[in-house]
Amino acid sequence: MNELLNRLSERARDCPDSIILEGAHAKLTTAELYAAIKSFANALQAANVTRLGLLAENSPGWVIADLACQLAGLCLIPLPHFFSDSQLLNSIKRAGVDAVLTDNPDRLQQITSSHTAPFECGEEFRLTLNTIDTPKVQSLPDGTQKITFTSGSTGAPRGVCLDDNQQLRVADALSTAIGIDAPHHLCLLPLSTLLENIGGVYVPLLTNGTVIIPPGADIGLGGSTSLDMLKMLQALERHQPTSIILLPQILVGLVAALEDGWTPPASLQFVAVGGGKVSPDLIRIARNAGLPVYEGYGLSETASVVCLNHPGCDLPG
């Protein structure tokens, strides 16, 4: 097992009743999470899955499927809901996906020749397993555990092969830079976004934290561009996180709210912003109003984050 799975096994043994994942419909303890990971891994192996697509909203089930693939030694291909049908189909074919775990089987069946397969352990998390008839593709690089697809805007998705050690090295470095023990992280970006997957899930799980994973509609996100700032502000007040990850356009909305008199939760200790250029003036305004914002830069080819400003090492812009 890798470092993350070992850490989760230890937490399940030492603190079995502590809450580790919070979703819209359920909270999972460390013992429940680890049991679910093993159950998912066994079911995926029994279904003879080798390359699993994951087309689902943010939820505890998404995280369980991700970690189960690591435990079972399977390749995971996160499929963003905001991809167009043609982008989804392109990603599925290029990666040689043989099954998709999804909370939207109707959409999947409209664009692929898929068949629902038995997967009882997914029912609690509203996930169904669908086998896919796709042509065989060339073998993947040794150790490939995840293929992350980026689309730019509307172009054909481009896949990047990653192993779990790459991802966990980045998560380890981020946890050291951020320096928060047992963070309470609220996922605002889709988990199919590598930045949120590594920085928002792996980092808290490695540092005895809790991950809060509401669906996009609960936090004001619909698709890749729609943003309801009122819902997002309400979610921040409701969950009182210690850390969040933002895109620049979300930061612009939060700064506008600050200028209108909104007060950020006192719990917030670290707000990472990435995915595009951020004005130093915007960061200064946010910090002066009590939002501890730090800019980062990343590439999918390097398992997301390449560099990140943080307290003691900070150069805005």
- Structural domains for the chain: 3-162 (3.40.50.980), 165-308 (3.40.50.12780)
pLDDT at 317: 66
Find the distance separating the first CA and the last CA of the chain, reported in whole Å.
Answer: 39
Percent over 90 (pLDDT), the chain:
82
CA distances from 308 to 134, 270, 298 (A): 39, 12, 9
% of the chain exceeding 70 in pLDDT? 97
C-alpha of 26 from chain center: 18
- 3-state SS assignment for residue 213: strand
pLDDT in tens, 239-282: 999 999 999 999 999 999 999 999 999 999 999 999 888 999 99
Beta-carbon contacts of residue 210 (< 8 Å; ≥ 6 apart): 19, 20, 21, 22, 182, 183, 184, 185, 204
Closest CA to 292 of 259, 317, 265: 265
- H helix runs in the chain, sequence order: 3-14, 30-46, 60-72, 85-95, 105-111, 164-178, 194-196, 203-206, 229-239, 248-259, 280-288
CB-based burial of residue 281 (10 Å sphere; 0-12 exposed, 13-18 middle, 19+ buried)?
A: exposed
Residues in the chain, pLDDT under 70: 151-155, 223-225, 317
Give the pLDDT confidence score for residue 263 in this predicted structure.
96
**Given its phi and psi angles, is residue 187 left (phi above 0), alpha (psi -120 to 50 degrees) or beta?**
beta
Q: What is the pLDDT of residue 223?
A: 60
Residue 124 confidence (pLDDT): 86
Model pLDDT, residue 152? 56
What per-residue confidence (pLDDT) applies to 165? 94
- What per-residue confidence (pLDDT) applies to 224? 55
Q: What is the pLDDT of residue 207?
A: 97
**Two tokens at 249?**
């356009």
On whether the CB atoms of residues 181 and 155 are closer than 8 A, the answer is no
Residue 246 pLDDT: 96
